[in-house]
């Protein structure tokens, strides 16, 4: 089976999992019956559990779907505690459905797979030992990779039915009112976890700081929570987000950032009230700095900034250059700390951020998004999932979602070491070229031919180094040579969903 962008998909797996092949970036306006949890009523006297083990015993059964959030990132102390109890109790055939999997979770998931505890995974991404294991066929069933918006859609439509959500929070009261803004392990927005809190049948909050009742502001509400467990520490504050944000001094990143800013500023979208999403990489952070200067120079203010938020974006908010920050996740301490102090920093859940199946996601209103790539091919298709060796080492994240913006700019170096970023064909298709408008590399800028309007405008701009993407691909190839074709086995180890739930690509096991 082949989808509209000519990616080969395994017919048998597709049929077994009842999946449709990707056809279009246009979601249309379907009417979908939402799902809802089974709720056990309580007045709450017995919510505060004596131990995590007790709660696991009371809630988890073989075959269930369990979930976690990844807001603690590499500082997460929750996932390993819960999974250790689950593995040691000898559960079988669980589906793991976290918002994403960070490196600190890798080894224990590999162990859970090897012991048959986990036989299904859906996630935004995975890396390290887990990516290696899955890419070598360790998991019984294919992983389903979903974007943040796609996960929200899948939860809301019932494709992901969470039985038990284990949600770490830096504060909570005994009834389960909690937020991510205060406490030793504060991380700011609870955006991804809000989906689990609303839709899981059983919600277990795990915290290291019990607050007096009632704890407000309540991002997660007592009406959603079955159990509250107090533990010693939910996360390592130093690893949750980067500390002080330092701007890159890498000349290549600075050059790319300046070129990205030139593209934005010369586009028709750079005008009063525009909106943007940047990321947390070195170049993306530097873009924010260049963009700030351009906004000051031209007296232009943004209506909102979106996405994973960093302190430089909060600085723009405080400076009045951005009216609102719509915050699904905070990437650093500065952004996390400002949340409860600044009422223009609005916490949003993953559905509001990016679910195409709701009544309007923030990404639908986005003018400019700046995204990264592991690979981008001459059809502007982007891979952020597999490495040049074909092994899983990435995440869909909000990539597909933010790419629906009016001006989607992929910024990436032309090559990384001996590996080309601009390639004839991506190893794994994650974000279709139909939703990508411009590629910026240090060696030049390529505009998607479907955006002739942009090309016409940019051609009038002096010093904008325009090339065709084929020319950039050739440049890359001249530097690093032609890559050997990768070899894969017939085993499908993962399916990559497009944000609408169709399958945009399959990932096969690598040959050793």
Nearest distance, CB of residue 218 and a second copy, angstroms: 7
Stretch that binds a second copy, among 56-64, 185-193, 207-215, 502-510 (CB under 8 A): 207-215
Q: Which residues make Cβ contacts (< 8 Å) with residue 69, sequence separation at least 6?
A: 98, 99, 167, 168, 190, 192, 193, 196
CA 249 to chain centre: 26
> Which residue carries 């064909």 as its tokens?
425
- CB nearer to a second copy: give 27 or 488: 27
Contact status: 233 vs a second copy (CB under 8 A) = no
Q: Which residues make Cβ contacts (< 8 Å) with residue 493, sequence separation at least 6?
A: 134, 135, 137, 139, 142, 143, 392, 507, 508, 509
Choosing from 12, 18, 40, 417, the residue that interacts with a second copy (CB under 8 A) is 40
Nearest distance, CB of residue 206 and a second copy, angstroms: 16
Three-state SS for 194?
helix
- The b/e string for 382-418 (b: 16+ C-beta within 10 A; e otherwise) is bbbbbbbebbbbbbbbbbbbbbbbebbbbbbbbbeee
Residue list 284-313, contact with a second copy (CB under 8 A): 303-304
Choosing from 12, 31, 297, 460, the residue that interacts with a second copy (CB under 8 A) is 31
> What is residue 489's DSSP assignment?
E
CA 331 to chain centre: 12
Rounded Cα–Cα distance for residues 145 and 496 (Å): 5
Contact status: 39 vs a second copy (CB under 8 A) = yes
Cis omega (within 30 of 0) on the bond before 214?
A: yes
Choosing from 21, 312, 356, 398, the residue that interacts with a second copy (CB under 8 A) is 356
Choosing from 12, 18, 43, 246, the residue that interacts with a second copy (CB under 8 A) is 43
Stretch that binds a second copy, among 161-169, 253-261, 351-359, 430-438 (CB under 8 A): 351-359
What's 127-153 look like in SS3? CHHHHHHHHCCCCCCCEEECCHHHHHH
**Do 208 and 185 meet the contact criterion of CB atoms below 8 Å apart?**
yes
- CB nearer to a second copy: give 31 or 482: 31
Choosing from 344, 468, 474, 491, the residue that interacts with a second copy (CB under 8 A) is 344
Cβ-based burial of 198 (10 A; exposed 0-12, middle 13-18, buried ≥19) = buried
- E strand segments, 246-317: 274-277, 302-309
Nearest distance, CB of residue 181 and a second copy, angstroms: 11
Contact status: 342 vs a second copy (CB under 8 A) = no
**Do 432 and 504 meet the contact criterion of CB atoms below 8 Å apart?**
yes
Choosing from 135, 171, 189, 224, the residue that interacts with a second copy (CB under 8 A) is 224
**Do 307 and 149 meet the contact criterion of CB atoms below 8 Å apart?**
no
Choosing from 171, 351, 383, 408, the residue that interacts with a second copy (CB under 8 A) is 351
Rounded Cα–Cα distance for residues 435 and 448 (Å): 9
- CB nearer to a second copy: give 93 or 364: 364
> What is residue 405's DSSP assignment?
S
- CB nearer to a second copy: give 15 or 35: 35
Nearest distance, CB of residue 69 and a second copy, angstroms: 19
Choosing from 21, 176, 279, 444, the residue that interacts with a second copy (CB under 8 A) is 176
Site string for a second copy, 134-173 (x = CB under 8 A): ----------------------x-----------------
Angle ∠(285,290,294) on CA atoms, nearest 5:
140
- CB nearer to a second copy: give 131 or 356: 356
Stretch that binds a second copy, among 37-45, 313-321, 419-427, 471-479 (CB under 8 A): 37-45
Choosing from 12, 18, 33, 232, the residue that interacts with a second copy (CB under 8 A) is 33
Classify the C-alpha dihedral 405-414-103-142 as positive or negative.
Answer: positive
Choosing from 1, 17, 44, 468, the residue that interacts with a second copy (CB under 8 A) is 44
Contact status: 30 vs a second copy (CB under 8 A) = yes
Choosing from 123, 222, 386, 405, the residue that interacts with a second copy (CB under 8 A) is 222
Q: Which residues make Cβ contacts (< 8 Å) with residue 429, sequence separation at least 6?
A: 5, 7, 381, 382, 383, 496, 504, 505
- CB nearer to a second copy: give 27 or 269: 27
Using CB under 8 A, list all residues that contact a second copy: 27-44, 47, 156, 175-176, 203, 212-214, 216-218, 221-226, 273, 303-304, 323-324, 326, 340, 343-344, 346, 351-352, 355-362, 364-365
């Amino acid at each position: 089976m082949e989808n509209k962008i000519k990616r080969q998909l395994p017919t048998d797996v597709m049929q077994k999992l009842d999946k449709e092949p990707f056809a279009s970036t246009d979601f249309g306006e379907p009417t979908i019956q939402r799902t809802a949890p089974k709720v056990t009523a309580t007045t709450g006297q017995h919510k505060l559990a004596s131990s995590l083990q007790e709660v696991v015993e009371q809630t988890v059964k073989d075959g269930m779907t369990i979930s976690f959030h990844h807001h603690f990132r590499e500082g997460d102390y929750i996932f390993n505690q819960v999974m250790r109890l689950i593995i040691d109790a000898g559960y079988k055939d669980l589906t793991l459905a976290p918002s994403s999997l960070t490196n600190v979770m890798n080894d224990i998931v590999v162990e859970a797979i090897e012991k048959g505890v986990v036989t299904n995974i859906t996630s935004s991404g995975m890396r390290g030992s887990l990516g290696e294991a899955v890419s070598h066929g360790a998991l019984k069933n294919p992983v389903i990779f979903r974007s943040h918006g796609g996960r929200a859609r899948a939860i809301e439509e019932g494709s992901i039915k969470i039985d038990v959500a284990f949600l770490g929070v830096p504060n909570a009261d005994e009834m389960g009112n909690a937020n991510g803004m205060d406490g030793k392990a504060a991380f700011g927005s609870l955006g991804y976890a809000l989906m689990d809190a609303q839709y899981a049948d059983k919600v277990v909050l795990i915290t290291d700081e019990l607050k007096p009742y009632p704890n407000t502001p309540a991002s997660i509400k007592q009406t959603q929570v079955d159990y509250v467990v107090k533990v010693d520490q939910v996360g390592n504050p130093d690893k949750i987000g980067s500390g002080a944000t330092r701007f890159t001094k890498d000349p290549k990143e600075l050059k790319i950032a300046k070129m990205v800013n030139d593209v934005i500023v010369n586009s028709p979208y750079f005008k009063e009230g525009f909106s943007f999403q940047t990321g947390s990489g070195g170049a993306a952070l530097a873009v924010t700095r260049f963009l700030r200067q351009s906004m000051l120079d031209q007296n232009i203010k943004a209506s909102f900034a979106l996405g994973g938020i960093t302190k430089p974006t909060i600085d723009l908010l405080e400076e009045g250059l951005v009216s609102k920050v719509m915050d699904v996740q905070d990437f650093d301490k500065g952004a996390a700390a400002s949340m409860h102090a600044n009422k223009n920093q609005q916490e949003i859940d993953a559905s509001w951020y990016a679910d195409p199946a709701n009544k309007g996601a923030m990404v639908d209103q986005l003018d400019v998004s700046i995204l990264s790539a592991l690979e981008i091919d001459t059809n502007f298709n982007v891979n952020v999932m597999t490495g040049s060796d074909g092994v899983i080492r990435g995440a869909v994240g909000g990539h597909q979602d933010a790419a629906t913006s009016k001006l989607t700019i992929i910024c990436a170096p032309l090559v990384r070491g001996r590996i080309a970023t601009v390639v004839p064909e991506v190893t794994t298709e994650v974000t279709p070229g139909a939703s990508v408008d411009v590629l910026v590399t240090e060696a030049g800028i390529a505009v998607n031919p479907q955006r002739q309007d942009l090309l016409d405008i940019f051609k009038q701009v002096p010093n904008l180094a325009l090339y065709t993407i084929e020319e950039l691909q050739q440049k890359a190839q001249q530097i690093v040579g032609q890559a050997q074709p990768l070899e894969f086995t017939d085993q499908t180890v993962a399916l990559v969903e497009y944000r609408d739930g169709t399958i945009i690509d399959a990932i096969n096991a690598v040959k050793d």
